[in-house]
Structure 1
Amino acid sequence: MNSNGGPEGRRFDVLVVGNGALGLSLALTLTRRGQRVALLGESHRPWAGSTAAGAMLGCFGEVTTSLVASDHGRAKLELGIEATRMWPQWLAELDEETGGGDSIKTADGTTLILNTIGIPEIDDANFAAIRAELVRYAEPFHDVDPADLDWVDSEPLSRPLKAFHIPGEHAVNPVALMERLESAFTTAGGTVITELATAVVHDRDRVTGVTLANGDSISAGQVVLAAGARTQTLLDTLPVGPRIPKLVSGYGVSALVKTVDGTSPSSVIRTPNRSFACGLHVLPRSQGEVYLGATNVISSEPRDIAEMRDLVFLLQCAHRQVRRNLWDSHVAKVQVGNRPVSVDGFPLLGDGGMDGLWIMTGTYRDGLHLSPLLAQEMTARILGEAPRAALAPFTPVRPPLQAWSRERIVEDVVHHTIAIGYEQDWKIPVEWDGWIENDLRPATLSWAEEIDPEFTPPPELLFLSRQIPDLAKILREYYAASREGAGAAAR
């Protein structure tokens, strides 16, 4: 159950609930500072996002026109830029504390491709936005002739039109990273408790620990909820829960593939984000083995089994758009992960609104990349020190953040819906996509108004809430609770 002794009869300074990349990084950073820390989570990490991630260490490749169109989006980007700068030292410290071993870095830089899949309103616009932000922040990059992409051999109808390389955005092996983090944590004196938390224990407005699935309780002066998409289950046990944006899952499927020719690219190869999801990305995991990722499907609950259609979509995208002979390669492993997504689309970071409660989740696709920075910043806050990074925009106890107008969100839904069709190679008469757009726009606007007269969820949540009644219910209840809470505060 435990390492470094059991928790019975012990009171910890800090209990970190969640043993993914964020929880591990925070637990290690706190332990380095002399805190008695317990890290809580089942060893096989069900529902986690980290274990199935491509673990790309970059933020510019994730830029979209929507992200940089709001102050909150730009604040998130700037956190990502700062995190990128921290990774070399972070990895060096882990090597020193654990004795090193094989390098956990798997990819040298990131190559962005703009191919013939998708639509200009998304793919061309996001490709241009990434370049613009690289220039804005003076981040090195250089153009690459698509003909010189030595590992890219897409089918002709999916060929790349443009490409550039970002030398500063790498990737790591997430499983090896978490093994090294846990080793450093226990070596420093931390305690690992391999149990599932079912509730947060509190006395009035003071959090005192958690209850485990086996009936035991663990006490601590400070409790940090960093359990990814499953954090919502714990927030539901607290009186402050309704005042915090609800969490849902960004379920995704990835695959490890043994290439038929025994080769792998040296860098990450990816497209811009599109179709309500992350861009298609292929990256080396080891010699002759590649990681494939692309999917993101909003789900009201975390999932642990891949849907067949998502796996088929991923494999077809990879061999059509990146390398044709992947079709003859061998799928070594299918992975499922759950990204924690708040219903307003932004992280939940900081004071949880009760004494002794901290929240560190809702990071969507950026949790692993942000982990060194957020570990440092949350440690400073827990220890009462002056923080460096601005996390205030993402304080957990907040009304819904409305970063974009309803009109812009509706337009995004329309464009991404059309893009799904093109990415899945639909065959329609030329004029039909215009007709579909004309029907989608008023239907989507009507649905947004039906969800709530004031608040509009991010595009992917608005889109899927039409198909998932539970998600629509979550949104309606959260907006109603937020409005009621605001009214009570005004009184």
Structure 2
Amino acid sequence: MSTNNSGDSKIFDAVVVGNGTLGLSLGLELARRGVQVAVLGKASRPFAASAVAGAMNGCFGEATPGLLQSEHGRTKLAMDVRATALWNDWEQSIIEASDERVIRSAEGTIIILNTIGVPEIDTAGYASIRAALDEYDEPYEDLDPDQIDWLAPEPTSRPMKAMFIPNEHAVDSAALLRGLATAFVRAGGTLIDEQAVEVLVDNGRATGVVLESTDVVSAPSVVLAAGVASGDLLGCLPPDVRARIPAIVSGYGVALLLETEDSTAPDHVIRTPNRAFACGLHVVPRGDGTIYLGATNNISTQPRTSARIDDLNLLLGSTRQMRSDLVEGAVHRIMVGNRPVPLDGFPLLGEVGIDGLWMMTGTYRDGLHQSPLIAKDFAARLLGEEHDTTLDVFTPVRKPIQALSRQDCLETAVRHTLALGYEQDWGIPVDWPPLIEEQLRGMFQRSLDELHPTFVPPAELLAFDDPEITAALSAYYRAHDEAS
């Protein structure tokens, strides 16, 4: 694989900042269409989400009550459904253009509803998954939980219900990234193993970027697809424009790569519904008796590269929900990733206040799955072709999107925070949870009231109660108040 990293000035038709799944997918799509394109980013991907993702082609398995009741949430679900239809051909095209022989790591997904968690989240989530499957007439079948191969949880964690979704798979994220990079270079694209530190603008139009080495990469189209780092490159914008773009925080997560004691792994993804602000407990086979166990989710203003002990404790304790003998396995790797989470919880897709500067990020947990869809759409946008106008609702300079009412946001924050305790099998007196719930509701209500009289943040940003995030939300809301 060739890499351009010379000290000379470089001139391209387009430059994509970010070498994760989204950035490489757009680069590949453009290169295949004859565009001279460079993709920038350190090969080590220090803060990437896709490099350590479980890489589930999660679509219906991600459905929740909040997603289905929101217009913008349903738009995201529709994007997931369209992306699913692209994946077979997309994966095959990458295999044919690279040295990868296999990218898919699991065939189909089993959803389990077990005795961990709370009905308002887990049972409601399970019902939402079925409702979404029925609405889209997607095939699935109910399973006898006791007859699921490989699954052998402790009795206190046994599943009560289960269903199989045959068209929701998973890929090996490392193989996918290798395949994308190889296919991109072979299609004529250029990889540059450096970070961008500044976007250049001349007469109201983006003209390229400055690299860490001070080299300049020139292009009339600059696409920011650098995940949590994308917002750091918006200093070129007028302050009033930048203030009306939701800042990006990190939804950092921890996952484990495990070798099972008997060297076996399931053929399918096995997962719970989304729970406690995270994407549910999930096991994804990775071959040779190794499994990916994920994942936690915490909101932070800064990306992380190391795992917190409490995240590891949560994951290690959750092994009992899948197989009681996983405690006898071996931990091959502790993985930490940073999901890009805009302050209103929805993607940032479109031009950014000046000609030629685009954002293609903020996809939270959906970016890898949606990558073929978003890449094809952005290629069309950059080339001035017909594109999917339904994605225009996620234009970066926008009024805050509100998926939940104030009351729903408050109740979601309370329920999910309490669910963290139940998920970790907290041992407290039986009369304490109502007292804790009352205290949480009062605390979150005060935070909501202090933030803004009408704007409502995503529930997880309210629940994590970080002063820096609160300040960022206040500034974002204030900018829109002043603009209106």
User: If the TM-score is normalised by the length of the shorter chain, which range does it land in?
Assistant: over 0.9
Matches within 5 A, 1:161-310: 161-239=160-238, 240-310=241-311
SS of the equivalent of 2:219 reads strand
CA–CA distance in structure 2, aligned partners of residues 287 and 225 of structure 1: 37
Return 5+ residue gaps in structure 1 as ranges. none
Q: Which amino acid aligns with 1:325?
A: D
Matches within 5 A, 1:307-318: 307-317=308-318
Q: 1:483 aligns with which of 464, 468, 481?
A: 481
Query: Do the aligned residues in 2 keep the contact of 1:2 with 1:193 (CA within 8 Å)?
Result: no
Q: Which amino acid aligns with 2:51?
A: T
SS of the equivalent of 1:475 reads helix
Superposition deviation, residue 457 in structure 1: 0.8
Matches within 5 A, 1:387-466: 387-388=387-388, 390-464=390-464, 466=465
Query: Do the aligned residues in 2 keep the contact of 1:7 with 1:218 (CA within 8 Å)?
Result: no
Q: Which amino acid aligns with 2:141?
A: H
Q: Which amino acid aligns with 2:186?
A: T
Q: Which amino acid aligns with 1:76?
A: K
Please name the residue that 1:346 is paired with: 346
Superposition deviation, residue 294 in structure 1: 2.0
Could you tell me the TM-score, scaled by structure 2's length?
0.97
Superposition deviation, residue 443 in structure 1: 2.1
Q: Which amino acid aligns with 2:469?
A: L
Query: Do the aligned residues in 2 keep the contact of 1:284 with 1:291 (CA within 8 Å)?
Result: yes
Superposition deviation, residue 145 in structure 1: 0.6
Detail structure 1 runs of 4+ shifted over 3 Å in the superposition: 4-7
SS of the equivalent of 1:186 reads helix
Deviations 1:261-290 (A, max 9, x none): 000011000001111111000110112000
CA–CA distance in structure 2, aligned partners of residues 411 and 130 of structure 1: 21
Query: Do the aligned residues in 2 keep the contact of 1:267 with 1:284 (CA within 8 Å)?
Result: yes
Query: Do the aligned residues in 1 keep the contact of 2:37 with 2:190 (CA within 8 Å)?
Result: yes
Superposition deviation, residue 7 in structure 1: 7.2
Please name the residue that 1:469 is paired with: 467
Please name the residue that 1:92 is paired with: 92
SS of the equivalent of 2:150 reads coil
Q: Which amino acid aligns with 2:333?
A: K
SS of the equivalent of 2:462 reads helix
Q: Which amino acid aligns with 1:37?
A: V
Query: Do the aligned residues in 1 keep the contact of 2:4 with 2:192 (CA within 8 Å)?
Result: no
Q: Which amino acid aligns with 1:215?
A: T
CA–CA distance in structure 2, aligned partners of residues 198 and 177 of structure 1: 27
Moved more, 208-217 or 430-439: 430-439
Q: How many residues align?
A: 482
Matches within 5 A, 1:35-184: 35-98=35-98, 101-184=100-183
Return 5+ residue gaps in structure 2 as ranges. none
Deviations 1:64-100 (A, max 9, x none): 10011110000000000000010000011112222x5
CA–CA distance in structure 2, aligned partners of residues 389 and 112 of structure 1: 33
Structure 1 residues 237, 470: CA separation in 2 closer, same or farther (over 3 Å shift)? Answer: farther
CA–CA distance in structure 1, aligned partners of residues 4 and 415 of structure 2: 53
CA–CA distance in structure 2, aligned partners of residues 191 and 242 of structure 1: 33
Superposition deviation, residue 141 in structure 1: 0.4
Query: Do the aligned residues in 1 keep the contact of 2:227 with 2:361 (CA within 8 Å)?
Result: yes
Could you tell me the TM-score, scaled by structure 1's length?
0.96
Moved more, 235-244 or 139-148: 235-244
Q: Which amino acid aligns with 2:316?
A: L
Q: Which amino acid aligns with 1:169?
A: E
Superposition deviation, residue 417 in structure 1: 1.0
CA–CA distance in structure 2, aligned partners of residues 86 and 142 of structure 1: 23
Query: Do the aligned residues in 2 keep the contact of 1:200 with 1:238 (CA within 8 Å)?
Result: no
CA–CA distance in structure 2, aligned partners of residues 235 and 68 of structure 1: 32
Query: Do the aligned residues in 2 keep the contact of 1:52 with 1:335 (CA within 8 Å)?
Result: yes
Please name the residue that 1:31 is paired with: 31
Identity, in percent, stands at 53
Superposition deviation, residue 476 in structure 1: 1.4
Q: Which amino acid aligns with 1:482?
A: H
Q: CA RMSD in A?
A: 1.4
